[in-house]
Amino acid sequence: MIGLKLLLLLGFMLGTAVFGLIVGWVDRKVSARVQFRVGPPLLQNFNDFFKLMGKETILVKEGIHWLFIAAPLAAFSMLAVISTMIWVALILNQGFGGDLIVVMYLMMIYSVMIVIGGSSTGNVYSSIGAGREIKLLLGDELVFILVCLVPIIQTNYALQLDQIIAKQAENGMVIGSVSGTIAFILGLLCIQAKIAMPPFHIAEAETELVEGPLMEYSGPLLAFWKLNHHMMIVAYPLLLVLLFFGGFNLQGIGILWAVLKYLVIVVLMILIKNTNPRIRIDTALHFFWRIAAPLGLIAVILAVLGV
């Protein structure tokens, strides 16, 4: 039984990684078409990944070596667990009590891993990037919890991912209501900030901090950070599909619906990415605390009132 579960974890992990690298290509290709370019070939991200796996890993003399090595691998295992829990709830309709809370915690620990990895190098740019990541986490975490509360309240306080899907199958999707719509829009922006996609790539600012926390990483460890980024583009939009669009039904025409639901979120994210320049950290905090958090609170109150 344990062997079967391990096999399931391995399968979903590898599936998410391969799917993520392909979705990463979609991201780069759509961005290229927006800029009137041709864009990279289909297997570009696989080439990048395998190339990085074969390069030399350099450990910084002043850094803390075990944290430097452990951070990307721990972050990868976090994402493997998150994506497995989401896929199991979506495909097999299974879950355990309070697994939504576990997913929310693991998503936060992923950001903490970026902070640990960035600050263990002893590089100034990496440290600044790690500090910005903490500030961004402070900004988006409150809004994200408020956003997750809306589907929980609307599905009669179900904290289990498969129960949220089942309740939505009975009562209609969460996004159909006013509070659900507000929460979905805020959730999309939170996901954008958590994936560190533009306009929220404040921590990894290529032009001023030269990739921030990832600056000193090279070789296989960098390959794992890049893979983590691609896995997030799969796992986090799927969480939104689960919470707001009622998951999917993988039978007959349902597959088309499933792909459409996922693609709508990903294409919206890519378009937001391509039409907005990077915002400053104070602008991001202002947006999340002064604008998004009150809106999230309004959505929660509307959900309690049943609107």
Partner 1 sequence: MGWYNKRLAKSIWVFHVSASPCNNCDIEILDLLTPKYDVERLGIKLVGSVRHADVLLVSGVINQKVAPMVKKIYEQAPKPIFVMGVGTCPSGGCCFNDSYNIVENREDVIPFDIYVPGCPPKPEAMIAGAAKLMEVLNG
Q: How many residues bind partner 1 (CB under 8 A)?
A: 31
Residues 6+ away with beta carbon under 8 Å from 177? 154, 302, 303, 307
Q: Are 279 and 176 in contact (CB under 8 A)?
A: no
According to CB under 8 A, which one of 15, 18, 28, 278 is a site residue for partner 1? 28
65 binds partner 1 (CB under 8 A): no
Mark the segment that binds partner 1 (CB under 8 A) among 44-52, 107-115, 163-171, 295-303: 44-52
According to CB under 8 A, which one of 6, 14, 42, 58 is a site residue for partner 1? 58
In three-state secondary structure terms, 81 is helix
Q: Which is nearer to partner 1, 42 or 255 (CB)?
A: 42
15 binds partner 1 (CB under 8 A): no
33 binds partner 1 (CB under 8 A): no
41 binds partner 1 (CB under 8 A): yes
Structure tokens at 259: 């792909």
> Per residue in 127-157, is it b (16+ CB within 10 Å) or e — as a string?
bbbbbbbbebbebbbbbbbbbbbbbbbbbee
According to CB under 8 A, which one of 9, 44, 63, 104 is a site residue for partner 1? 44
Q: Which is nearer to partner 1, 39 or 176 (CB)?
A: 39
62 binds partner 1 (CB under 8 A): no
176 binds partner 1 (CB under 8 A): no
According to CB under 8 A, which one of 1, 3, 36, 252 is a site residue for partner 1? 36
The secondary structure of 134-176 as a DSSP string is HHHHHHHHHHHHHHHHHHHHHTTS--SHHHHHHHHHHH--GGG
124 binds partner 1 (CB under 8 A): no
In the complex, minimum distance from the CB of residue 217 to partner 1, in angstroms, rounded to a whole number: 6
Of 103, 179, 177, 114, nearest in space to 146 by CA:
179
According to CB under 8 A, which one of 5, 7, 51, 66 is a site residue for partner 1? 51
Torsion angle, alpha carbons of 119, 216, 132, 50, to 10: -120
In the complex, minimum distance from the CB of residue 69 to partner 1, in angstroms, rounded to a whole number: 15
Q: Are 88 and 95 in contact (CB under 8 A)?
A: yes
In the complex, minimum distance from the CB of residue 125 to partner 1, in angstroms, rounded to a whole number: 8
According to CB under 8 A, which one of 207, 251, 277, 306 is a site residue for partner 1? 207
Tokens 């295992």 locate to 77
Distance CA 48, CA 216 (A): 18
Residues 6+ away with beta carbon under 8 Å from 239? 82, 86, 103, 191
77 binds partner 1 (CB under 8 A): no
Q: Which is nearer to partner 1, 195 or 214 (CB)?
A: 214
Residue 64 region, left (φ>0) first, then alpha (ψ -120 to 50), else beta? beta
162 binds partner 1 (CB under 8 A): no
Binding footprint of partner 1 on the chain (CB under 8 A): 28, 32, 35-41, 43-44, 47-48, 50-51, 54-58, 206-207, 210-211, 214-219, 222
